[in-house]
Structure 1
Amino acid sequence: MRDDDVVRLRAETPGCAEVVHLNNAGSALPPAPVTDAVIDYLRTESVLGGYEAADAAADRLEAVYASLGRLLNAGVDDIALTDNATRSWQAVFYALRLGPGDKILTCRSEYAGNAIAYLQSGATVEVVGDDETGQLDVADLERRIDDRVKLISINHVPTQGGLVNPAEEVGAVAERAGIPFLLDACQSAGQLDLDVTRLRCDALSGTGRKYLRGPRGTGFLYVHPRLRARLEPAMLDLHSAAWTEPGKYEILDSARRFEVWERNIAATLGLGVAVDYALAIGLPAIEERLTGLAARLRGLLSGIDGVSLHDQGKRQCGIVTFSVAGVPADKIKTRLSNAKINTSIVHRSSAQYDFTARNLQETVRASVHYYNTDDELRLLAEEVERIKQE
């Protein structure tokens, strides 16, 4: 990505003039076209009426499915729109109807929301070990497969670090074993080049608010036909199914069987603009830019006495996690916030398998995006240096 590209992208991101935003793994700054799309629709809705405005935007709403299909290399019938990544993930997980006697294989870096659902199901949860780099150990995954395993479910990128799990290798194992593979791409969509054919996943969930730079309250779901044919969603309505006779209903064939009728149309249109914006830049270029920025930030932080980095994996992305000896994470975050530098904190309660194994309680998370600059990274490092010297 050229310097003039970064200048243009920052100019199209009003927030860049206000803050150093390094909380993109939480919610990224939207570009102006995304905000404009949301506001313009709301204005139209205010003068036409909700249903009428939606009818007028029908073609643009359909185009969102096509945009997500291009992002994931998937067909439009394989895409569903939801209001967040969790709802997307839950739509598939709870449709599997797992229970006692079944086994779920997951990764050590798994997120709390997913892990809680595993435990609620009553199925046995086995945590696959990490290899020497800290990523999921594919050989250990293969060793754990038996007739009881009914799901392989992992995150592509965890909430608590820059690790990129070897999802393609996991997909190959799952495909050979004939076991459904559910991939949580909440943190990877928009920062990594995703291709569901290459990933070989049966289902993939994502969000709009993070690296795609879309509105909050938007999510999406990919479901392969081979899995879709097996699943009846845990919840249906008049959008996901048709009431054909007083005592009968028919579920949609497409992935829209996992949707519900009511949605935030303005936010959905904003999501479509955000996806198109990312596609216009190019996901390979985005990934290269983010990876480079994060590597340089790790280099700056590693040179500060008392700072420990906590990112693992053979392959790393745009999330950087660290701690400062003797300084609580909330103090660091507050000091950075006072300097108009946005970061976040990851607590053990979000990553019990991982942080318990590594004896971590909390870390500071600085997550870069392509609109960040090296000067902004230096500002963060300088502020951390001052905090450490106090």
Structure 2
Amino acid sequence: MSPLDPAHLARLREATPGCARVCHFNHAGASLPSQGTLDAMLGQLQREAREGPMEAAITGAQLQEQAREAAARLLNTSPAAIAFASSGSAAWSMAFSALPPWQAGDRILVGRHEWGGNLACLAQAVSAGAQLEVIPCDRHGAVSVEALESMLDSHVRLIALTWLPANGGLINPAAAVGQLARKRRIPYFIDAGQALGQLPCDVEALGCDVLKGAGRKYLRGPRGTALLYVRPGFLEQLQPLPRDVLSAPWNGQGFSLRDDARRFETSEVSLVLLAGLANALQELNSIGIEAIHQRIKTLADTLRQDLDRLPGLQRQDLGVAGQQSGLIAFTLKGWDCFALKEALARRGINIGANGVAYTPLDMQARGLTQIARIALSYLNTEAEIQCLLEALTELAERGPAG
């Protein structure tokens, strides 16, 4: 693993226009794109303007395949197992909706931290008679693998796990869950929205059938892009809609679904956005996910210690200390989290804020109505973190009416 030394970090920040304007700690919402990613999108847009959008699609399709190859490298799979979508939620929904029809008595097991958008999709199975059951947590707040094993039987048709929940630093035991799923041959979906680009992500080691993540988060790609991985041996069980001549091409006698993950794609797609995603993925692979992960972990471990010394600030993280992600959830005494986000934004500091709808099962279980969230990137510096700490200290002292 090649470490991210100060000179390398300085070059990466210089190549990211937003770093010169804001202290950005909202990478879990959407990260800052590089100038290279912007140039890749502008280049394809200009080709479309000069040559015609359909004619420029020849180059655009090549860039799309570069994005697919880079995504496959990141996930340790083949390009044929990768599809693109407009968002992580759209990708998860398409895969879920492509499963065989649900029946009364079917069971779906989810972690308490499941993303609200995924739960909204699962509601359609519940309306068909399926049962949605929450896997108990261990003493650190993570999904209990032992409890999960005791819940498995022939009626379980899906295990769904949000690997890194949106409301704090927890890293769920995704690979251990995958071992159980594979042993019992139960379909296993992973929401890796906050994990892709932050943690090493090997789909073979995870043992998942479906995995999705948004391009705009730690991958630093453009909004409107997402990755969908579908295990090749699982693909034949899925019948996605909508379809067109790309996802279900004419075979001379009729239309049949493709035998790769592109059965989830349609021919109408933004090649401008995918050109940007290709560049972002290539840049990430060039830096190295191990170096990125270590940099984020070092910053997050130190920041958590600093935050714990701030009067009135209470961290709302779950997980084992020293084994948490770059997402740090907290509340500040006297402050509405959304008002705090706005107050920091006026100082040129970006953070996130989430309500119950993001992770309703977990937020309700912990009696939380909202959280503020710091999401660190390898791009962040110690100087930026000091600015954040000073601003939080000032706001804590004066209160929202100060």
- Paired residue for 2:107? 103
Q: Does 1:303 align with 2:303?
A: no
Structure 1 counterpart of 2:284: 278
Pairing partner for 2:47 from 44, 49, 54:
44
1:345 aligned counterpart, secondary structure: strand
Once the 2 structures are TM-superposed, how far is the Cα of residue 231 of structure 1 from its aligned partner?
1.4
- Which residue matches 1:227? 234
Aligned to 2:30: 27
Task: Say if 2:343 is the partner of 1:335.
Answer: yes
**Paired residues of 1:323 and 1:329 also in contact (CA < 8 A):** yes
Structure 2 residue 133 is matched with structure 1 residue 129: no
Cα shift at 1:330? 1.9
Q: 1:158-196 CA deviation, whole Å, 9 max, x = no partner?
A: 111111110000000100011011111111001111000
Deviates more, 1:82-91 or 1:211-220: 82-91
Question: Could you tell me which residue of structure 2 aligns to residue 215 of structure 1?
Answer: 222
Is contact 2:107–2:158 with CA below 8 Å preserved after alignment? Answer: yes
Distance 2:202 2:280 in 1: 18
Which stretches of structure 1, 4 residues or more, deviate above 6 A after TM superposition?
none
Q: Structure 1 CA distance, aligned partners of 2:144 and 2:98? A: 28
CA distance in 1, matches of 2:103, 2:117: 18
Say which of 140, 149, 165 aligns to 2:156: 149
Q: CA deviation at 1:245?
A: 5.8
What amino acid does structure 2 have at the position aligned with 1:281? I
Report SS of the residue matched to 2:31: coil
Indicate the residue corresponding to 2:197 in structure 1. Answer: 190
Distance 2:89 2:68 in 1: 19
Inter-partner Cα distance in structure 1 for 2:303 and 2:28: 15
* Equivalent residue for 1:172, pick from 179, 184, 197: 179
**Number of equivalences:** 389
- Which stretches in structure 1 are left out of the alignment for 5+ residues? none
The answer to whether the Cα contact below 8 Å between 1:211 and 1:369 also exists between their aligned partners in 2 is yes
The corresponding residue for 2:385 is 377
Task: Output the CA distance in 2 between the equivalents of 1:383 and 1:56.
Answer: 47
Output one character per residue of 1:275-325: Cα deviation in whole Å (capped at 9) or x when no partner: 110000000000001111112221111101111001111331111111012
Deviations 1:217-264 (A, max 9, x none): 001111112210111113221110023467x32110001001111101
Q: Is the 8 A contact 1:191 1:286 kept in 2?
A: yes
Whole-Å Cα distance in 1 between the matches of residues 137 and 304 of structure 2? Answer: 22
The equivalent of 1:251 in structure 2 is 257
> Displacement of 1:126 after TM fit?
0.5
**Aligned equivalent of 1:112:** 116
Are 2:274 and 1:268 aligned?
yes
**Alpha-carbon separation, structure 2, partners of 1:365 and 1:223:** 31
* Other-structure match for 1:75: 78
Matched, 1:2 2:10: no
Whether the aligned pair in 2 keeps the contact of 1:329 and 1:364 (CA below 8 Å) is yes
Quote the Cα distance in structure 2 between the aligned partners of 1:245 and 1:7. Answer: 56
| Identical-residue share of aligned pairs (%) | 37
Q: Could you tell me how far 1:100 is from its partner in structure 2?
A: 2.9
Per-residue deviation, 1:98? 2.8
CA distance in 2, matches of 1:151, 1:234: 20
Deviation at 1:59, TM superposition (A): 2.4
Is the Cα contact below 8 Å between 2:168 and 2:317 reproduced in 1? yes
> What is the TM-score with the length of structure 1 in the denominator?
0.97
Q: 1:162 aligns with which of 162, 169, 173?
A: 169
The residue type equivalent to 1:110 in the other structure is: E
Cα distance change, pair 197–240 in 1 and its aligned pair in 2 (3 A): same
Name the CA distance, whole Å, in 1 between partners of 2:70 and 2:396: 46
Take 2:95 and 2:60, find their aligned partners in 1: how far apart are those partners?
28
- 2:61 and 2:271 in contact (8 A); partners too: no
Kindly indicate whether the alpha-carbon contact (under 8 Å) linking 1:300 and 1:378 is maintained by their aligned counterparts in 2: no
Show the counterpart of 1:61: 64
Q: Quick one: distance in 1 between partners of 2:77 and 2:102?
A: 27
Write the distance in 1 (CA, Å) between the matches of 2:273 and 2:393: 40
Match of 1:344 in 2: 352
Give the AA of the match of 1:379: C
The Cα RMSD (Å) is: 1.2
Other structure's SS at 2:164 match:
coil
Q: How does 1:312-327 map to 2 (within 5 A)?
A: 312-314=318-320, 315-327=323-335
SS in 2 for 1:243: coil
Q: Distance in 1 between matches of 2:41 and 2:194?
A: 23
Partner SS state of residue 165, structure 2: coil
